[in-house]
Amino acid sequence: MNLFLKKLGSFILLSLVVLFAADFIISRVFRDVREPNPEIWRDVMKGEASADILISGDSRVNTDCYPPVIDSITGLRSFSGGVLGNHFTIQKLRYDMYMSHDKKPAVAVQFVDNIFFASMAKFDREQFLPWMWNTQFLKDFFSLEPCRALELSFPWFRYHGALQKPRGSDSFFSI
């Protein structure tokens, strides 16, 4: 019985190591996907989003506020950091990550609309998956939605559905 428990423990430990390693590698690959929402997260988390004017809000910010036009009018560098399909708590998460990784903006603009205080039930979970390895991101996300944070932080499981979407879907995981 003792030998069986040792082998079982070794198998479970080895399985966890493989799951964590695979999850880490997949997260690294998906951070470099060239689509709008992952690119915004990547710029914010790498500290490349620093600007004089930070524009925050939902997905309309990314389509209605075009930084080159704002830059040419104001003479300042602007960054449009709208979160696709999300409400204020997720927008605040992006703002907090911006403030911790990028320089403080001179002006912060927050767009408000009819889903500003909507529930967490309708958010695009896939945009957060590659960043669950960042402890500050995970801690902030956990404070917003504890159950979802646990679900999305479990190695390999969080990518289960995202990797099986058909080609041409609106997911940034469709390759």
Q: What are 73's two structure tokens?
A: 């009018």
Q: What are 11's two structure tokens?
A: 């198998």
pLDDT per residue as tens, the chain (175 positions): 789 999 999 999 999 899 888 888 888 887 777 776 778 888 898 899 999 999 988 877 877 888 899 999 999 999 988 887 666 777 888 888 999 999 999 999 988 876 666 655 455 667 777 877 788 888 887 787 777 777 777 776 777 665 555 445 554 444 4
Asked whether 81 and 137 are in contact (CB, 8 A), the reply is: no
Which residue matches tokens 């960054």? 79
Q: What are 139's two structure tokens?
A: 């801690």
Asked whether 127 and 38 are in contact (CB, 8 A), the reply is: yes
